[in-house]
Structure 1
Amino acid sequence: MTMTAPEPPKPESTTWEVIPLGHGAWRISDGSRKQTDPGRLVAYVDRNDTGTLEVLWLRSPCPTRSRYRDIDDLLADLDAAVAMGATPARSTRPNEIPHFPPV
C-alpha cells in the first residue's frame, strides 16, 4: 500500500487584466479586486516609437523597472514583485536616525 502526501495549497495568484486603450497603449488591472476598488488599477503601459513599453506604476508593490521589451516580461516582473511582498507605504517614516544628547 502506498500513501502520498496531499499537495500543499497553492497561494492565490493575482489575475492581471491587460485592457487595450488604443493602438500601443494598455491598462493593467488586478482582476482579484472589486470593480469599485481604487487599488484595482495597477499601471498604464504605452509603446514608444522604438517599440519599447514604458510603464507608469500606480500601486505598490511594483517592479523597479519602467521599460520592457514585451508585455510578458512586464507581467513576470509584476508577479515577482507581488510575490516578494508589500513594500512600506510612502507615508511611513524612513529608518530612524539615533539622536544623542550634546556632549
Structure 2
Amino acid sequence: MSIVAPTDPPSPATPAWEIVPLGHTGWRICDATRGHTDPSRMVAYAEKSEIGAIEVLWLRSPCPNRSRYRDLDELLADLDAAVAAAEVDRSTRPFEIPHFPPEK
C-alpha cells in the first residue's frame, strides 16, 4: 500500500510525493512524477523514533535543512517549500567569487 499526496494533475514542475510504508514505523518517500526506473525517484527514507519524532534521511536535492519532524504532514510541507525555493533560486545569477592575484 502506498499513499500519494494529491496534486492537480502531477507534472514534473509540481511533484507528487508517494509515501510507501516500510514496516510499522518507516516510510519511503518517492517523487511519483518520475519513472519507476529513474534513480532520482527516491527522495528520502523516514522513520519514527522511540520519542515519536520522524527522522529523515534525504537522498537527493533539493531537500529541506531539517531532518526531524513531528509528523508526515509537516515533513511534506517542508519538502514542498524546499522544492519551490530551489526553482526560484535557479533563475537568479550565482554569487560572484572574488579573484585575487597570488601572494608573493
Q: SS of 1:102's equivalent?
A: coil
Which structure's CA Rg is the greater one? 1
Gaps of 5+ in 1: 1-10, 89-94
1:19 paired to 2:20: yes
In the aligned structure 1, how far is the partner of 2:54 from the partner of 2:103?
A: 53
Aligned pairs, how many? 88
Q: CA RMSD in A?
A: 2.3
Q: SS of 1:81's equivalent?
A: helix
1:45 paired to 2:52: no
Aligned to 1:31: 32
In the aligned structure 2, how far is the partner of 1:45 from the partner of 1:69?
A: 12
Q: Give 1:1-103 correspondences, 5 Å limit.
A: 12-85=13-86, 96-102=97-103
Amino acid at match of 1:55: V
TM-score, normalisation: structure 1 = 0.76
Gaps of 5+ in 2: 1-10, 91-95
Deviating above 4 A after TM superposition, structure 1's stretches of 4 or more consecutive aligned residues are: none
